Amino acid sequence: MLQEFKKFVLRGNVVDLAVAVVVGAAFGAVVTALVKDFITPLIAAAQGHHDFSALYFTVHGSKFMYGDFVNTVISFLSIAAVVFFLVVQPLNRLQNLTTRNKTPVEPADRKCPECLSSIPKAATRCAFCTAKVTPITK
């Protein structure tokens, strides 16, 4: 059992996932600090407030920290934008470049005209409904 656990832990995708989580958490902390210390004060200065994250309103004695919520939303949108523009789009472009000149693989199966089951192209009879079919040779 210990050998199986060792094999699982040392599998490549587990290590890659662990690294991605650690780097993602560190990146999230950097973006959160950027939003909290630079972007939000700029927005707050434009509105005439000295600290945007401390803005709140009260209802029956309950304090609603909408400034802190806006900080979190800005952080999330910043992280999502960076991931989309610096990771997702380049990978999509790279994938399109690698598959652009490849010819599509012709399927080895076809549909039975009677029951619509998947049968080999060279079949003369459907294995599911036993209908006679014309083989396709190519």
Express each pLDDT in 40-81 by its tens digit: 778 777 777 666 667 788 999 998 888 878 777 887 888 888
Per-residue pLDDT at 115: 92
Bridge partner list, 63? 58
The CATH homologous superfamily to which domain 11-99 belongs is: Large-conductance mechanosensitive channel, MscL; domain 1 (1.10.1200.120)
User: How many whole angstroms separate alpha carbon 54 and alpha carbon 86?
Assistant: 32
Tokens of 41: 């004060």
pLDDT digits (tens, 9 = 90+) for 122-133: 899 999 999 999
Q: Supply the angle between the helices 66-83 and 12-34 in degrees, to the nearest 10.
A: 130
Q: Domain boundaries in the chain?
A: 11-99, 109-138
**Contact in structure between 34 and 78 (CB atoms under 8 Å):** yes
pLDDT tens by residue, 8-36: 777 767 777 888 889 888 988 888 888 77
